[in-house]
């Protein structure tokens, strides 16, 4: 092949385009297999081999089978694109060889696309080589641009991804490749090029974000016969693979960028420093360099311009530090890759002490388009200081894992939730790690942050080279920090003391914390080390190594403290801190593996006794718990979590409750408990068991609090509540019903008669909406309505009922209203279903029963005729930016108002405590927050002030879940007991020897994957007009089978012994 | 004087002007402001690794390493404040806790830079936990031990090994906390390509690399309990300056002054650094006299002198003076040489006087005379400037190890071609040609090169019998391409029937390559011993070839150090037991077996004197390192004693010394 002249570029471009436009006598069908490393590792090579075989067998000459690089969406590999003349391209995802055969037969040869396997139609961007109209058979398959993942991207650096062949220089030329180099060589001076790059505003994409044009200017100004252009392709951040994609899909873009850079600074030789772990990239690059040399695009007299420049690939052995520019150069020089001090900067003294420009792959791949299309074009998107696009490797717990190229300035949350499709696990988003080991974790409160250099730095992270690791609530941030620190320890070159020793010391502290051996002062030590390393380490690796620790300390300090002080890992990750994840997750610390094992062994009475050790309300919790335990169940990594809640209920349904032995008071102190809800009664029980005399004051005629008066009987039958409470009163707890402290009995009397007080009055008052018409007749609060209902007062309901809110109370009120005879119940919620706080089963059940959901609707005012409500004026909402909880904030759509007719409106937006205690206790020792919630002392869970007054449950936390109230009650009992003993100078409480219950250690050898057991329910039709319990309980067979699904994470030692034996 | 622009900056509020390109550390030192350093060493390139020299520049939060940061106009440097002090302290503590730095058990305690820094920064306890990783201890080397547990990874040894020694045996291996100093590609120092110069141990700031020979000799907590005596090593004629650590009149360690002058840059070789310590352990002080049964037994000095004088007198009487050979080592000082000559000339005027290396010089002289005129050799510095080194019949690695270092540096720094031909070589993967030829073949090879190079001679095929033609052509083409070739010749070339033949060819070849500035031929001749130049120019070595072995019936052997007789050309004298009358040496008690009387005398460590330097022939005064043992007779006393017994009162050593004034006497 002879060396090209300028005009040859046009000739080749024309040729390729003509061939690819598929003149009728030539090929009319093109099949592309996407063969990036990601594709190959998913089996794209097998798919390609099969297609080649099929093609050969078919003998068809109108079919072109070709390859291309990564198409961007990693978890859909292998991808195959099929184009037929005059129809739209079809992308098939997750293609297996079997599917490929079928696709070849039916679509390629037969002409009928397989709609059910198709992933999308069309191309990601308009500059495709080959186009056609939509295929009528592909109706329901989305066009690729309508998929958020593709549609919201702006492909510049990756413009050729998945389209052109990486091994064809002609195809690169056909996409205007090397035209920029030609322009730079023939029409532009060095200063022109630098000027263009400077005014484009492009900044180094490798991480530091230094203005590229400025870097080039410095190198151009350095006087030397010999200069170098280097490409940093030593991509090493964990979870980052942007550069690999560019190198594998579009290597010539990098080559062209380097030619332009060489012309700009006057270099004659370049090196691409590529890690050896990217064998395909190295191969592709070498191939590209050979092709370019053959075409005379590298070497002497490029395109006849007289300019000389050549390139070589230098393979790095995979040391992370060699991504640091001075270490990279030292490595090319043949020495151990260790950083050297700057200044002198590489632009003055770089490789072999000659002026050198080092740019990252993405930067260099951006250059040709800046030269060809102009700085203005490049700067047309982005923010004031961050121009153009940035490629991110979006990974972690996000639904769409892949490479995304987005305009600078796009909100972080948009990348994660729109492009990334949100959490793959369905769990809550917790943080996103940006910038790898030099970066930091950005928490949920900052999802609106525009992705640009300065804004991200303000958050304590960096844009970095583009690693974006999304983490859900199951990730422990201490563990994450430990992981990154471990990485830095492994990768520190060992040259400078602060990095070498400091990272080890920090890792030791972090490891200790994760093992539950954290100490007071550890966080301060970490901070001290971090500042020390930042300020004294030699190179960027060291100076930024503490960043992940600092950023997690900044946003998740309480998580560190939980590890250190409470020996708890809130995310339930650090295995040294717990026996089993479910038990660690349970606020009351219930011994779940034990009772599940006992169910399996059919020892239900023993199981019941296990339940009662930590929870006096197991029957209740078997029905209405929010089961955080199940969210951490390891079985979910296999199929679905064990149905723990219903197994608990199965125990209490099927075994007699162990009869409590009444406790005779052993101590003289008397304790008052205000409120006979789950929190108060739990505290009372615990205190009686510790020998105290306890009196519970309850305003309402029956004990149980929200269990009795808030939750409707179809979810929680009253006899279940009454039974559990009886077991408590049978122990010797004294109940004073119909007695409100401050009304029936004076606060001072309580203070005088009792040595300690536990306030657990709950939150029994609906909070007002604060809109017009709230005082109209027919507008009620959900709590009030449910209380009336549970007082057997048969509250009147309307014909058309509107319920406002999305929590459990709202759903309870809606379902109750239906049962009470409402014809139509509409639930108005201002966000979408995903954001509804109510439990998903409750929402589903409500819909089954006929409750209509009106989502993205917010009430503006209630209107009525005269005094009586007739309906709600609603505002249609749309989801806007993220709020601090990570949910999208509902924003009104101007002018979009609508009318919901209703003769009754139930407001269920939130509840607060009744403001009675501050009247009773005027000295101000009990503090309240703005919502009227009782404030507890810092460092304590329930203690309120200096005197022995304690508080817990909903009155402290706001409306919460019953298990938390129970946990508060237990904590209160412990703290009250400890406070009294401390006051008396007694030793700490020693729990009596626990009854020994043998927990069987049966584990299945093999695990069969399968769904969890479903709870049988009343038919939806039978539910209307009845408050009979909806959930019917497990049968013995179902319960045993479900119990067998438990993986018994608590049996660590057995497992370890087993492993040793094996 | 340089014409570099001056930069003005302030350090701790004081203005200072330094050259552009100078570091902050240099600016501070100009103001006599002390900045602590650890990885920095004046003889080595800047590293910037330990970070102890951090200073604050323009109030920035990130501190910079002053040893590597060049000054900038108007820079405001703060070298000490609380923050900087705390940071340095943290670095010191980091190092102390990283590995085993329990000073009590360290051979370097009291002479450890880390320990000094800890005291300086008031580290009287540790606030950080120990990291407790264990590393190997390498004791595979004869002279050096490497305890990686005491290493602070300052990289000084690595830099010294590559920058000064040119050996590049040491490097850093592994990453992060597992980083350590590696030897070659793996393995222990003893099995490595180490040239045993010991410089790594000298530059090591802690006890990580230490001398095995004198471990713990000087340990005394914070105190350095020894004197340092400046002297020179007289072993090979490079006369390298030495720093001798002496405790209780024992030599504890030998170091070289760093940074040293070009071209050797203050190195010291195995022979200068370790061998004096090796030998000073076994020091005979009692004379030995062969008794009637023919075996040697200890005797008093007077008795031994009586015996020696008696034997000499008997020999003279029985065989005549011509049968007596006086053989002296060229490691001896000018004074010793002169005295010995004077003694011999006074009492045995007909005896033959020669040096151990006389044969070498006679060959060389014969060759020089053959060319019709004398010539001037190149200086050692020429080695570092050469782009081709042609080594002929020399073994610098064994005889002149530092010349080996210069060759390696020429190869690595100047990319010089290196060809080693003939007996003795310095093999290495970087040797362009390594041809093991005998002395005569080597001479032929040189002649072939010469004739091919000389256009006036007929350029035909290779003439020499068994000459490797390919190598001749290859060497020739390299020689022609070289711009600054240099020939390096050693004593092996003289080991042939016609000792002068090799040298003749070499000098001819050197002339063909042309003279350098000052009329120097591109030729370096490695002289066998420390004062070879002195022995030759004082005329101690015999200009005429002495008669064959059979001619001598006995005589005196006079040594200074650890000279080896057979390799020094004693083929000219008798070698059976008791065939020599007197052997006098400090170290070679074993040689007593050759003699009827063995007289221990003070060696070069205990003697001062003048030596002639190889490069310029200038005299150099070498002070003594140790005080001679009172039991040991100085050389003058022995000769005086013999003189008195041979002819009382006519001759004393003191009177007869006519030593030339040293041209550059070393500072006492």
Q: Which residues of A touch B49 (CB under 8 A)?
A: 495-497, 538
CB distance A535 to B61 below 8 Å:
yes
**Mean pLDDT of chain A, nearest integer:** 91
pLDDT at residue A129, as a whole number: 47
**pLDDT digits 0-9 by tens, A943-974:** 988 788 999 999 998 888 899 999 999 999 99
Q: Is the pLDDT of residue B3 over 80?
A: no
The whole-angstrom separation of Cα B577 and Cα B598 is 12
Q: Are strands B64-65 and B76-78 parallel, antiparallel or unpaired?
A: unpaired
How far CA A883 is from CA of A413, A475, A835, A888, B550, in Å, comes to: 10, 21, 12, 6, 111
Write the pLDDT tens digit of every residue in A17-76. Answer: 776 644 445 778 889 999 999 999 999 999 999 999 999 999 888 888 999 988 888 889
The DSSP code for B321 is G
B405 touches B165 (CB < 8 A): yes
For A115, list phi and psi in degrees, rounded to 5.
-60, -35
Write the Ramachandran bin of A716: left for phi over 0, alpha for psi from -120 to 50, otherwise beta.
beta
C-alpha A94/C-alpha A34 separation (Å) is 11
- Tell me the β-bridge partners of A30: A64, A83
Report helix, strand and coil shares of chain A as percent, to nearest 5. Answer: 40, 20, 40
Interface of A with B in 71-110 (CB under 8 A): none
A413-464 pLDDT tens trace: 999 999 999 999 889 999 999 998 999 999 999 999 999 999 999 999 999 8
Can you tell me the mean pLDDT for A274-283? 94
Partner-chain contact A536 B69, CB within 8 Å:
no
DSSP state of A299: B
Residue to test with chain B: of A319, A339, A495, most B Cβ within 10 A: A495
Smallest Cβ–Cβ distance between B177 and the set A340, A496, A500 belongs to A500
> Poorest-confidence range of A171-180, B257-266, B333-342, B544-553?
B544-553
In tens, the pLDDT along B276-317 reads: 887 655 677 889 998 888 888 899 999 999 999 998 888 888
Residue in A31, A141, A145 with CA at minimum distance from that of residue A83: A31
Enumerate the residues of chain B whose CB falls inside 8 A of the CB of residue A535. Answer: 61-63, 87
* A344, A500, A535 member nearest B153 (Cβ): A500
Considering only A449-463, A562-576, B170-184, B413-427, which range has the smallest mean pLDDT? B413-427
pLDDT of residue A24: 47
Q: Which residues pair with A274 in a beta bridge?
A: A233, A315
Is residue A878 predicted with pLDDT exceeding 60? yes
Query: Which residue in B51, B70, B174 is closest to A496 by CB distance?
Result: B51
Rounded to 5 degrees, what are φ and ψ at A179?
A: -70, -30
What pLDDT does residue B268 have?
Answer: 93
Shortest Cα distance from B25 to chain A (angstroms)?
A: 14
Residue B426 has pLDDT above 90, yes or no: no
Please list the residues that pair with B89 across neighbouring strands: none
Helix (H, G, I), strand (E, B) or coil at A103: helix
Q: What SS3 state is found at A779?
A: strand
Q: How confident is the model at residue B617 (pLDDT cuts 50, 70, 90)?
A: confident
Q: What's the whole-number mean pLDDT along residues B325-348?
A: 90
CA dist A153 to A449, A463, B567, Å? 18, 17, 83
CB A476 within 8 A of CB A484: no
β-pairing, B250-255 with B209-211? unpaired
Q: Which of B50, B63, B97 sits opposite A535 (nearest CB)?
A: B63
Mean pLDDT of B200-219: 84
Q: How far apart are CA A146 and CA A969, in angstroms?
A: 52
**Closest to B176 (Cβ–Cβ): which among A492, A536, A537?**
A492
| Angle at CA of residue A446, ends A442 and A450, nearest 5° | 95
- The closest of B237, B204, B67, B361 to B615, measured between CA atoms, is B237
Q: Please judge whether B179 and A494 are an interchain contact, meaning their C-beta atoms are less than 8 angstroms apart.
A: yes
Residue A650 neighbours by CB under 8 Å, 6+ apart: A599, A622, A1033, A1034, A1039
Does A112 reach chain B within 8 Å, measured CB to CB?
no
Contact B177 A505 (CB under 8 A): no
Say how many CB pairs under 8 Å bridge A and B.
103
Give every CB contact of residue B613 below 8 A, 6+ residues apart in sequence. Answer: B239, B533, B619, B620, B664
Q: What is the mean pLDDT of residues B403-417?
A: 91
pLDDT at A819 over 50: yes
Q: Is B62 close to A534, i.e. CB distance below 8 A?
A: yes
Nearest chain B residue to A485 by CA distance is: B176
User: Which residue in chain A is spatially nearest to B94 when comparing CA positions?
Assistant: A501
Q: Lowest-pLDDT range, A187-196, B200-209, B358-367? A: B358-367
For residue B171, cis peptide bond before it (omega within 30 degrees of 0): no
Closest by CA to B237, choosing from B522, B521, B503, B612, is: B612
pLDDT at position A479? 97
Q: What separation in angstroms does the CA of A842 have from each of A623, A723, A811, A839, A846?
A: 12, 24, 7, 5, 6
What CA–CA distance (Å, rounded) separates B111 from B274? 19
Confidence at residue B243, expressed as pLDDT on a 0 to 100 scale: 94
Please give the structure tokens belonging to residue A671. Answer: 């304790």
B155–A505 C-beta distance less than 8 A: no
Q: Does residue B385 sit in helix, strand or coil? A: helix
A497 CB neighbours in chain B (<8 A) are 49-52, 91, 94-95, 152-153
Res A324 pLDDT > 80: yes
Is A504 in contact with B129 (Cβ distance < 8 A)? no
Give the one of A493, A496, A501 whose C-beta lies nearest to B98's C-beta.
A501
pLDDT of residue B662: 39
The per-residue pLDDT for A133 is 63
The alpha carbon of residue B123 is apart from the nearest alpha carbon of chain A, in Å, by 17
Contact A228, A270 (CB under 8 A): yes
Coil, helix or strand at residue B297: strand
CB-CB neighbors (< 8 A) of B52 in chain A? 497
Q: What is the DSSP string of A244-291?
A: HHHHHH-HHHHHHHHHHHHHHHT-SEEEEEEETT-HHHHHHHHHHHHH
- Read off the pLDDT band of B569 (50, 70, 90): very low
Residue A433 CA to residue A416 CA, distance in Å, equals 12
CB A874 within 8 A of CB A857: yes
Chain A from 310 to 349: CB within 8 A of any B CB: 319, 321, 336, 338, 340-341, 343-344
| Confidence (pLDDT) at A260 | 97
Identity of the residue in B46, B87, B152 whose CB atom sits nearest the CB atom of A535? B87
B interface toward A at CB cutoff 8 Å? 46-52, 54, 61-63, 65, 68-70, 87, 90-91, 94-95, 97-98, 128-129, 131, 152-153, 155, 171-172, 174-179
E strand map for A397-458: 402-407, 429-434, 440-443
To 10 degrees, what angle do helices A592-600 and A644-654 make?
Answer: 60
State the Cα–Cα distance between residues A159 and A389, nearest whole angstrom.
11
**Beta-carbon count within 10 A of B102 CB:** 11
Which is nearest to A546 in space by CA: A563, A565, A522, A527?
A527
The mean pLDDT of A617-631, rounded to a whole number, is 93
Give A992's DSSP letter.
Answer: P
Average pLDDT over residues A690-697: 94
Chain B environment of A344 (Cβ under 8 Å)? 70
Q: What are phi and psi of A893, to 5 degrees?
A: -90, 115
Q: What percent of chain A has pLDDT over 90?
A: 72
User: B48 and A502 in contact by Cβ < 8 A?
Assistant: no
CB B307 within 8 Å of CB B299: yes
User: Mean pLDDT across the stretch A583-598?
Assistant: 94
**How distant is the Cα of B157 from the closest Cα of chain A, in angstroms?**
14
Whether residue A496 lies within 8 A of chain B, CB to CB, comes out as yes
Pairing relationship of beta strands B288-290 and B595-600 according to DSSP bridges: antiparallel
What is the complex's ipTM, to 2 decimals? 0.89
A409-413, A826-830, A1044-1048, B420-424: the lowest-pLDDT one: B420-424
Partner-chain contact A496 B63, CB within 8 Å = no
Q: Do B48 and A344 touch (CB under 8 A)?
A: no
C-alpha to C-alpha distance for A789 and A795, rounded to whole angstroms = 6
Other Cβ atoms within 10 Å of A148 Cβ, number: 15
Cα A726 to chain centroid, rounded: 44
Q: What average pLDDT does the segment A779-804 reach?
A: 91
For tokens 């170290």, the residue is B587
Model confidence at A1028: pLDDT above 50: yes
Q: What is the pLDDT of residues A255-271, one digit of tens each?
A: 999 999 999 999 999 99
Mutation choice for A interface testing from B25, B59, B90 by most A CBs within 10 A? B90
Residue A124 Cα distances to A368, A405, A474, B293, B625, angstroms: 21, 11, 34, 109, 85
Nearest in space to A648 (alpha carbons), one of A1015, A966, A352: A1015
- Phi and psi for B76 in degrees, rounded to 5? -115, 115
User: Rounded to a whole number, what is the distance in Å from the CA of B353 to chain A's nearest CA?
Assistant: 56
Which residues in chain B have their CB less than 8 angstroms from residue A488's CB? 176
Q: Measure CB to CB from residue A497 to each of B46, B50, B63 and give the nearest one.
A: B50
Element (H or E) spanning A685, and its range?
A: helix A678-689
Q: Between the CA of residue B562 and those of A990, B235, B603, B650, what are the distances in Å?
A: 83, 9, 9, 32
* Model confidence pLDDT, tens digit, residues A382-425: 999 999 999 999 999 999 999 999 999 999 999 999 999 999 98
Query: Is the per-residue pLDDT at B571 higher than 70?
Result: no
């Amino acid at each position: 092949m002879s060396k090209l002249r300028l005009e040859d570029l046009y000739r080749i471009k024309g040729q390729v385009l003509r061939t690819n436009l598929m003149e009728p006598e030539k090929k009319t069908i093109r099949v592309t297999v996407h063969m990036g490393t990601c594709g190959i590792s998913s089996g794209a090579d097998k798919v390609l081999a099969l297609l080649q075989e099929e093609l050969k067998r078919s003998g068809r000459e109108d079919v072109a089978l070709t390859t291309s690089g990564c198409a961007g969406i990693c978890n859909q590999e292998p991808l195959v694109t099929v184009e037929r003349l005059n129809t739209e391209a079809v992308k098939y995802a997750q293609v297996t060889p079997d599917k490929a055969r079928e696709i070849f037969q039916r679509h390629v040869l037969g002409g009928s696309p397989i709609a059910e396997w198709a992933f999308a139609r069309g191309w990601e961007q308009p500059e495709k080589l080959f186009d056609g109209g939509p295929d009528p058979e592909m109706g329901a398959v989305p066009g690729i641009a309508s998929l958020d993942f593709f549609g919201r991207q702006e492909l510049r650096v990756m413009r050729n991804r998945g389209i052109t062949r990486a091994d064809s220089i002609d195809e690169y030329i056909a996409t205007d490749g090397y035209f920029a180099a030609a322009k730079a060589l023939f029409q532009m001076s060095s200063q022109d090029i630098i000027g263009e790059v400077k005014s484009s505003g492009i900044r180094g994409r490798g991480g530091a974000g230094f203005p590229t044009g400025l870097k080039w200017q410095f190198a151009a100004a350095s006087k030397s016969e010999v200069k170098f252009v280097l490409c940093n392709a030593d991509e090493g951040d964990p979870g980052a693979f942007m550069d690999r994609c560019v190198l594998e899909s579009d290597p010539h873009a990098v080559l062209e960028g380097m030619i332009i850079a060489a012309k700009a600074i006057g270099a004659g030789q370049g090196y691409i420093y590529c890690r050896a772990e990217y064998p395909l990239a190295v191969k592709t690059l070498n191939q590209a360099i050979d092709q370019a040399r053959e075409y005379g695009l590298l070497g002497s007299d490029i395109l006849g311009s007289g300019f000389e420049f050549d390139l070589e690939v230098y393979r790095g052995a995979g040391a992370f530090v060699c991504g640091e520019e001075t270490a990279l150069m030292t490595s090319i020089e043949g020495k151990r890759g260790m950083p050297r001090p700057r200044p002198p900067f590489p632009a003055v003294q770089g490789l072999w002490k000659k002026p050198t420009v080092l740019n990252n792959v993405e930067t260099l791949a951006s250059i040709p388009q800046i030269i060809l299309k102009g700085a203005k074009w490049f700067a047309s998107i982005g923010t004031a200081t961050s121009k153009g696009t940035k490629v991110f490797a979006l990974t972690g717990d996000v639904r769409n894992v892949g490479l995304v190229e987005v305009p600078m300035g796009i909100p972080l949350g948009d990348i994660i939730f729109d492009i990334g499709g949100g959490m793959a696990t369905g769990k809550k988003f917790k943080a996103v790690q940006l910038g790898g080991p030099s970066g930091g974790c950005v928490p949920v409160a900052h999802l609106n942050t525009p992705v640009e250099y300065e804004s991200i730095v303000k958050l304590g992270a960096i844009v970095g080279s583009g690693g974006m690791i999304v983490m859900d609530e199951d990730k422990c941030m201490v563990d994450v920090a430990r992981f990154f620190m471990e990485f830095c320890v492994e990768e520190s070159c060992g040259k400078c003391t602060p990095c070498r020793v400091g990272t080890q010391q920090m890792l030791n502290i972090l490891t200790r914390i994760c093992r539950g051996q954290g100490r007071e002062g550890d966080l301060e030590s970490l901070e001290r080390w971090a500042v020390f390393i930042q300020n004294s380490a030699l190179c960027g690796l060291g100076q930024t190594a503490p960043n992940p620790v600092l950023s997690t300390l900044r946003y998740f300090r309480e998580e560190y403290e939980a590890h250190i002080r409470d020996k708890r890992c809130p995310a339930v990750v650090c295995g040294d801190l717990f026996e089993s994840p479910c038990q660690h997750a349970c606020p009351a610390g219930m011994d779940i593996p034990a009772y599940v094992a006992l169910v399996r062994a059919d020892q239900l009475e023993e199981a019941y006794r296990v339940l009662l050790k930590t929870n006096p309300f197991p029957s209740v919790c078997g029905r209405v718990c929010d089961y955080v335990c199940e969210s951490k169940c390891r079985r979910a990594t296999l199929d679905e979590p064990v149905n723990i809640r219903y197994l608990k209920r199965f125990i209490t349904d099927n075994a007699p409750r162990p009869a409590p032995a009444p406790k005779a008071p052993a101590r003289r102190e008397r304790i008052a408990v205000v409120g006979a809800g789950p929190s108060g009664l739990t505290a009372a029980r615990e205190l009686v068991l510790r020998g105290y005399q306890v009196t519970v004051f309850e305003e309402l005629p029956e004990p149980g609090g929200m269990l009795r008066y808030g939750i409707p009987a179809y979810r929680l039958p009253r006899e279940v509540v009454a039974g559990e409470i009886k077991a408590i009163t049978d122990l010797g707890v004294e109940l004073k019903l119909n007695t409100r402290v401050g009304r029936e009995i004076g606060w001072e009397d309580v203070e005088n008669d009792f040595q300690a007080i536990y306030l657990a009055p709950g939150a029994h008052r609906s909070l007002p909406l604060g809109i017009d018409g709230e005082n109209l007749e027919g507008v009620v609060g959900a709590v009030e309505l449910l209380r009336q209902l549970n007082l057997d007062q048969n509250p009147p309901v309307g014909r058309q009922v509107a319920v406002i809110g999305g929590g459990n109370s709202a759903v309870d009120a809606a379902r109750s209203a239906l049962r009470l005879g409402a014809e139509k119940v509409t639930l108005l919620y201002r966000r979408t279903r995903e954001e509804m706080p109510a439990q998903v089963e409750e929402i589903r059940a409500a819909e089954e029963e006929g409750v209509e959901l009106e989502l993205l609707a917010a009430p503006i005012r209630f209107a009525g005729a005269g005094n009586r409500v007739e309906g709600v004026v609603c505002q249609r909402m749309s989801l806007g930016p993220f709020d601090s909880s990570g949910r999208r904030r509902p924003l009104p759509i101007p002018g979009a108002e609508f009318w919901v007719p209703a003769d009754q409106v139930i407001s269920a937006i939130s509840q607060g405590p009744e403001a009675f205690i501050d009247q009773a206790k005027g000295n101000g020792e009990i503090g309240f927050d703005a919502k009227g919630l009782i404030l507890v002392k810092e460092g304590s869970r329930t203690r309120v002030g200096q005197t022995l007054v304690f508080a817990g449950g909903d009155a402290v936390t706001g409306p919460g879940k019953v298990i938390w109230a129970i946990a508060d009650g237990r904590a209160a009992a412990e703290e009250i007991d400890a406070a009294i003993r401390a006051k008396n100078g007694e030793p700490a409480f020693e729990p009596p020897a626990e009854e020994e219950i043998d927990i069987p250690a049966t584990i299945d050898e093999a695990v069969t994957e399968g769904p969890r057991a479903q709870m049988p329910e009343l038919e939806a039709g039978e539910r209307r007009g009845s408050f009979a319990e909806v959930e019917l309980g497990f049968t013995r067979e179902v319960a045993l089978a479900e119990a067998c699904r438990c993986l018994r994470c608590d049996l660590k030692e057995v497992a370890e012994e087993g492993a040793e034996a094996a | 004087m340089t014409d570099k622009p001056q930069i003005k900056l302030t350090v701790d509020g004081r203005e200072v002007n330094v050259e552009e390109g100078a570091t902050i550390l240099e600016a501070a030192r100009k103001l006599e402001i002390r900045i602590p350093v650890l990885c920095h060493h004046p003889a080595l390139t800047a590293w910037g690794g330990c970070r102890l020299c951090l200073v604050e520049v323009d109030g920035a939060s990130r501190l910079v390493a002053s040893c590597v940061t060049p000054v900038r106009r108007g820079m405001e440097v703060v070298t000490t404040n609380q923050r900087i002090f705390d940071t340095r302290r943290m670095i010191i503590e980091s190092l102390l806790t990283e590995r085993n730095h329990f000073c009590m058990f360290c051979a370097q305690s009291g002479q450890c830079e880390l320990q000094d820094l800890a005291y300086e920064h008031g580290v009287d306890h540790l606030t950080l936990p120990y990291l407790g990783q264990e590393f190997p201890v390498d004791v595979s080397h004869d002279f050096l031990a490497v305890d990686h547990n005491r290493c602070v990874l300052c990289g000084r040894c690595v830099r010294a090994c590559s920058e000064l020694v040119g050996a590049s045996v040491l490097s850093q291996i592994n990453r992060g906390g597992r980083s350590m100093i590696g030897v070659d590609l793996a393995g222990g120092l003893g099995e490595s390509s180490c040239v045993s110069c010991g410089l790594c141990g000298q530059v090591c700031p802690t006890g990580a690399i230490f001398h095995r020979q004198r471990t713990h000799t000087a340990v005394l907590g914070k105190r350095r309990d020894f004197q340092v005596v400046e002297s020179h090593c007289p072993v090979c004629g490079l006369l390298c300056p030495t720093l001798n650590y002496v405790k209780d009149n024992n030599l504890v360690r030998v170091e070289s002054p760093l940074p040293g002058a070009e071209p050797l840059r203050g190195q010291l070789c195995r022979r200068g650094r370790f061998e004096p310590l090796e030998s000073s352990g076994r020091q005979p002080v009692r004379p030995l006299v062969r008794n009637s049964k023919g075996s040697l037994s200890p005797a008093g000095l007077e008795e031994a002198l009586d015996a020696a004088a008696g034997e000499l007198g008997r020999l003279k009487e029985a065989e005549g003076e011509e049968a007596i050979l006086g053989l002296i080592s060229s490691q001896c000082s000018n004074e010793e040489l002169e005295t010995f000559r004077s003694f011999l000339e006074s009492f045995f005027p007909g005896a033959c006087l020669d040096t151990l290396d006389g044969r070498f010089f006679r060959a060389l002289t014969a060759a020089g005379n053959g060319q019709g005129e004398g010539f001037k050799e190149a200086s050692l510095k020429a080695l570092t400037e050469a782009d081709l080194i042609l080594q002929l019949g020399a073994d610098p690695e064994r005889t002149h190890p530092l010349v080996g270092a210069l060759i390696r540096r020429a190869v690595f720094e100047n990319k010089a071609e290196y060809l080693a031909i003939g007996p003795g070589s310095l093999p290495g993967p970087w040797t362009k040609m390594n041809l093991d030829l005998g002395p005569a073949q080597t001479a032929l090879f040189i002649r072939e090169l010469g004739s091919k190079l000389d256009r006036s001679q007929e350029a035909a095929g290779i003439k020499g019998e068994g000459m490797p033609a390919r190598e001749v052509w290859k060497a020739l083409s390299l020689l022609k391409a070289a711009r600054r070739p240099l020939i390096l010749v050693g004593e092996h070339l003289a080991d042939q029937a016609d000792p002068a033949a090799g040298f003749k060819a070499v000098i001819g070849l050197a002339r063909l390559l042309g003279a350098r500035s000052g009329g120097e031929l591109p030729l370096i001749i490695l002289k066998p011993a420390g004062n070879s130049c002195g022995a030759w120019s004082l005329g101690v070595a015999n200009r005429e070839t002495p008669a064959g072995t059979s001619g001598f019936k006995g005589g005196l052997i006079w040594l200074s150090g650890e000279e080896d007789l057979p390799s020094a050309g004693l083929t000219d004298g008798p070698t059976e037991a008791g065939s020599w009358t007197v052997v006098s040496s400090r170290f070679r008690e074993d040689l007593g077996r050759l003699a009827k009387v063995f007289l221990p005398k003070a060696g070069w460590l205990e003697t001062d004197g003048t030596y002639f330097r190889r490069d310029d022939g200038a005299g150099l005064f070498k002070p003594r390192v140790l005080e001679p043992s009172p039991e040991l007779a100085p050389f003058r006393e022995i000769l005086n004693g013999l003189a008195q017994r041979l002819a009382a009162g006519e001759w004393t050593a003191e009177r007869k010394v006519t030593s030339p004034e040293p041209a550059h006497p070393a500072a006492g």
